[in-house]
Structure 1
Amino acid sequence: MSSAIGANIRRAREQRGWSQARLAREVCRAAQVQGDPVGRQEVSRWETGKRTPREWLPFIAAAFGVPVESLKTPEEPAGPPLPPLADFLPDDDPLAPLSAREGRRIGIGQVDDLQKRVHGLRLADDVLAGGDLIRPALRELRSAVKLYREGTHTDEVGRQLLRQIGELAQIAGWIASDAGQHEEAERIYRLGISAARQAEDHTLAGNLAGSLAYQMSNTGREAEGLTLAQAAFRDSEAEAPPKARALYLDRVAWAHTKAGGTENGQLAMRALGEAGQALSQDSEGTESPAYLYWVDAGELRVMESRVYTELHRPLRAVPLLREVLSEYDATHTREMALYLSWLAVALADANEPEEAAAVAERVIVMSADVASERIADRVRVILRRLQDYLDVPEVAALLADRESA
Structure 2
Amino acid sequence: MGGNIGANIRRLREQRGWSQARLARETCSAAGIAGDPIGRQEISRYETGKRTPREWLPFLAAALKVTVEAVTGPPPALELPAPPLADYLPAGDPLAPLTARGGRRIGSGAVADLRQRVHGLRLADDVIAGGDLVRPALRELRSAVKLYRETSHSEEVGAELLSQIGELAQIAGWIASDAGQYGEAETVYRLGISAARQAGDLTLTGNLAGSLAYQLSNTGREAEGLSLARAALDEAGPDAPPKARALYLDRVAWAETRMGHAQAAMRALGRAGEALAQDTAGAESPGYLYWVDTGELLVMEARAYTELRRPLRAVPLLRDVLGRYDATHTRELALYLSWLAVALMDANEPEEAAAVAERVVSLSAGIASDRTTRRVRVVLDRLAEFRDVPEVRSVLGGVA
Q: What TM-score does the superposition give when structure 2 sets the normalisation length?
A: 0.83
Q: Describe the shift of the 1:138–1:77 C-alpha distance in structure 2 as closer, same or farther (beyond 3 A).
A: closer
Distance in 1 of aligned mates of 2:245 and 2:382:
34
Aligned residue type for 1:222: E
CA distance in 2, matches of 1:153, 1:194: 19
Is 2:271 the counterpart of 1:266? no
Q: CA deviation at 1:70?
A: 9.0
Residues 206 and 236, structure 1, Cα contact 8 Å, conserved in 2: yes
Q: Indicate if the aligned counterparts of 1:202 and 1:239 stay in contact, CA closer than 8 A.
A: no
Is 1:23 matched up with 2:27? Answer: no
2:364 is aligned with what amino acid? S
Which ranges of structure 1 fall in alignment gaps of 5 or more residues?
A: 14-18, 27-33, 63-67, 79-90
Q: What amino acid sits opposite 1:119 in the alignment?
A: H
Which secondary structure does the structure 2 equivalent of 1:160 belong to?
helix
How far 1:372 sits from its partner (Å)?
A: 0.6
Is it true that 1:397 corresponds to 2:394 in the alignment?
A: yes
* Aligned residue in 2 for 1:312: 309
For the 8 Å contact 1:95–1:195, the answer to whether it is kept is yes
Equivalent position of 1:285 in the other structure: 282
Q: How far apart are the structure 1 equivalents of 2:341 and 2:127? A: 22
Cα deviation, residue 104, structure 1: 2.4
Using a 3 Å threshold, how does the CA distance of structure 1 residues 371 and 75 change in structure 2: closer, same or farther? closer
Q: Structure 1 residues 345, 74: closer, same or farther in 2, change over 3 A?
A: closer
3-state secondary structure, aligned to 1:327 = coil
The answer for the alignment partner of 2:154 in structure 1 is: 154
Q: d(CA) in 2 for partners of 1:96 and 1:111?
A: 18
Q: Cα distance 1:246–1:46, how it changes in 2: closer, same or farther (>3 A)?
A: closer
Q: Distance in 2 between matches of 1:72 and 1:259?
A: 18
Amino acid at match of 1:150: E
Partner residue of 1:294?
291
8 Å contact kept, 1:252–1:271: yes
Rounded to whole Å, the distance in 2 between the matches of 1:196 and 1:105 is 22
Q: Does the CA-based 8 Å contact 1:141-1:172 persist in structure 2?
A: yes
- The residue aligned with 2:198 is 198
Cα distance, 1:157 vs structure 2? 0.5
Q: Does residue 111 of structure 1 match 2:108? A: no
The whole-number CA distance in structure 2 between the counterparts of 1:351 and 1:186 is 38
Letter in 1 for 2:283: T
Note if 1:384 corresponds to 2:378: no
**Aligned Cα root-mean-square deviation (Å):** 3.3
Q: Name the aligned partner's letter for residue 331 of structure 1.
A: T
Partner of 2:329: 332
Matched, 1:168 2:172: no
TM-aligned CA distance change 1:400 to 1:295, over 3 Å: same
User: Could you tell me whether the CA contact under 8 Å between 1:196 and 1:204 is conserved in 2?
Assistant: yes
Percentage identity across aligned positions? 65
Q: CA deviation at 1:238?
A: 2.6
The amino acid that maps onto 1:383 is L
1:69 is displaced (CA, Å) by 11
Matches within 5 A, 1:84-233: 92-233=92-233
Distance (Å, rounded) in 2 between the aligned partners of 1:200 and 1:246? 21
Residue 369 (str. 1) matches residue 373 (str. 2): no
Relative distance call for 1:268 and 1:74 in structure 2 (3 A) is closer
Contact 2:246–2:275 at 8 Å: present in 1 too? yes
Q: Check conservation: 1:20, 1:44, Cα contact below 8 A.
A: no
Distance 1:114 1:219 in 2: 32
Using the alignment, how far apart are the partners of 2:17 and 2:76 within structure 1? 28
2:178 and 2:101 map into 1 onto residues whose CA distance is 36
Q: CA deviation at 1:143?
A: 1.2
C-alpha separation in 2, matches of 1:4 and 1:279: 36
Secondary structure of the corresponding residue to residue 99 of structure 1:
coil
Stretches of structure 2 lacking an aligned partner (at least 5 in a row): 19-25, 31-39, 78-90
Q: Structure 1 pair 192/44, CA: closer, same or farther in 2 (3 Å)? A: farther
Q: Is the 1:2–1:51 contact (alpha carbons within 8 Å) kept by the matching residues of 2?
A: no
- Give yes or no for contact 2:311–2:346 (8 Å, CA) kept in 1: yes
**1:23: how far off?**
2.5
User: After superposition, what is the alpha-carbon deviation per residue over 1:119-151, rounded to whole angstroms, capped at 9, x for unaligned?
Assistant: 000000011110110010011011111111122
Cα separation, partners in 2 of 1:92 and 1:258, compared to 1, 3 Å? farther
CA–CA separation in structure 2 for the residues paired with 1:200 and 1:342: 38
Deviation at 1:273, TM superposition (A): 0.6
Can you list the C-alpha shifts for 1:331-374, whole angstroms capped at 9, x where unaligned?
Answer: 00001110000000010011100000000000100110211110
Judging changes above 3 Å, is the alpha-carbon distance between structure 1 residues 355 and 47 closer, same or farther for their aligned structure 2 residues? closer
Counterpart residue identity of residue 337, structure 1: A
Q: TM-score, normalised by structure 1?
A: 0.82
User: Deviations along 1:269-308, whole A, 9 cap, x unmatched?
Assistant: 0111111111111111111000000001111111111111
C-alpha separation between the residues in 2 aligned to 1:331 and 1:140?
A: 25
What is the CA distance between 1:389 and its match in structure 2? 0.9
- Counterpart residue number, 1:82: none
C-alpha separation in 1, matches of 2:75 and 2:383? 41
The one-letter amino acid of 1:344's match is A
> Quick one: distance in 2 between partners of 1:369 and 1:360?
16
Q: SS where residue 319 of structure 1 aligns?
A: helix
CA distance in 2, matches of 1:148, 1:334: 34
Per the alignment, residue 54 of structure 1 pairs with: 58
Aligned to 2:37: none
Alignment CA distance shift 1:267-1:103 (3 Å): same
One-letter code aligned to 1:217: S
